[in-house]
Structure 1
């Protein structure tokens, strides 16, 4: 929207760059959208908001001090991985004063990893996206087992062998045809949290604000995000996934990013790429389940790696197709 672009350009450069970094979590290089996202995070929890703020500022300053691309810094590309690092580590690790120092070092590393990934992937015209965030957080999560001063939170998965689920899920028919107050609420909560969980927020209002923020930047982007969270609820229901995970939006946040990337950002927007995005979103759900089981023995969460892996495969394949165009 033009008014958002005008406000974005009118802001002082440091503020504009920082807020764009927050916005780039959802591919939105606009400071107004970034501000909406940041406010939403603070609504979801002060600690998460502060952690994201520390992360985005640290990673952006690191990129500037190390002399990385000014254009990339201005676009907020060195901010969004740091934005994710902060709330992620505060979710999966025990909240202590030392953890703030840990987050700062992780945010610094995320910018270094991003620069390295850009160097590796640019010849193939493939974005690094959130891969630096994933690699950095995995490293910092595993490292704590060697440090007495840091410990995992109850949310960090306990290492173990994957087991088949055995839960009292609602049958598929109940989700799809029984329009009771209970099932309507289940859908509403699951869809909203699917968007909120991109930044680790277990909050319906945060998800709604995130969607509004995306809409400020792009209608198509918002449509892809909503379709992504819908796919991330509908597909696991049919496959018989854990109802608890579905309700929490934990199967939806990766398809949200995948469908935005394939259907809006990196391939030419068209009906064809929208259909392709749906396919990518469905496959992201399966990829997430597979990676969750693969990582279970070492006790690591998938984070956004299912999105990264699926997006990379589709974008690499796009270079081989006469039908896809970037």
Structure 2
């Protein structure tokens, strides 16, 4: 009986960790649901591998590694209750997306991703203490700070090359843009606006995300769809 009990406890612990990890993906959109997180991960992988995406598979794998590392770091050093709600993973997954969206595939880029994802746990705790008197939390601010730290450092480090070697410049010959869009164009841009929350450029991924939100909250899906439409209109 003791062996069965120990085995059962280990299994529950593993399932709790997996659930908390998936919830971390959902918490990027404020949804603490493992099913929402699973659909979001499926959407990211589709957007990175699918025919309508930008064929950047490293972004998907970086997102998965960042999610797992930051969640594990939180469980080891911080609050278990936060981990069970997915609150340690949502910054890490975004760091994972950002690193390989902008940096090339090197060992040091992977090291920066792993270190940066882990450090979002420390940064979140620190920024939450700063924002506590204002009755708010840091949200994704740790992701922003850590990602900018990595990317700005990468410009001066030979082992962290950018994805594209060309330096961005302002265009010299500017012509009037063609503002003729079909309804299908607008729908695609609207859905891509939702997928870009994770730096993924895929309209199918946008559908994945809307379905993922609707599983947890129809209102969340509605407001996400409306907000992307309003931003596109403006």
TM-score range normalised by the length of the shorter chain: 0.7 to 0.9
> How does the TM-score come out when normalised to structure 2?
0.84
Which string of whole-angstrom CA distances, capped at 9 and with x for unpartnered residues, describes residues 250-304 of structure 1? xxxxxxxxxxxxxxxxxxxxxxxxxxxxxxxxxxxxxxxxxxxxxxxxxxxxxxx
Please, which of 98, 101, 116 is the counterpart of residue 106 of structure 1?
A: 116
The two structures have a TM-score, normalised by structure 1, of 0.61
Q: Is the 8 A contact 1:52 1:83 kept in 2?
A: yes
**For residues 186 and 70 of structure 2, what CA distance do their matches in structure 1 show?**
36
1:91 and 2:101 matched:
yes
Give the corresponding residue for 1:232. 231
Quick one: distance in 2 between partners of 1:91 and 1:228?
A: 24
* C-alpha separation in 2, matches of 1:61 and 1:209: 26
CA contact (8 A) 2:116 2:147 kept: yes
Aligned residues: 215
In structure 2, the residue matched to 1:193 is 192
| Counterpart Cα distance in 1 of 2:223 and 2:184 | 22
* Deviant stretches of 4+, over 6 Å: 162-165
User: Aligned equivalents of 1:157 and 1:130: distance in 2?
Assistant: 28
Partner of 1:52: 63
Contact 2:44 2:200 in 1 (8 A): yes
Structure 1's unaligned 5+ residue stretches are 1-8, 175-181, 236-326
The 8 Å contact of residues 58 and 108 in structure 1, kept in 2 or not, is answered as yes
Q: Go from structure 1 to structure 2 and tell me whether the alpha carbon gap of 1:91 and 1:156 turns closer, same or farther (over 3 Å shift).
A: farther
User: Of 147, 158, 176, which residue of structure 1 is paired with 2:157?
Assistant: 147
Offset, 1:153: 2.0
The correspondence for 1:131, drawn from 138, 141, 151, is 141
Residues 167/227 of structure 1: CA separation in 2 closer, same or farther (3 Å cut): farther
Which runs of no fewer than 5 residues in structure 2 stay unpaired? 1-11, 49-56
Higher relative contact order (CA 8 A, sep 6+): 2
Using the TM superposition, give the Cα deviation of residue 157 of structure 1 relative to its aligned residue in structure 2, in angstroms. 6.9
SS in 1 for 2:160: coil
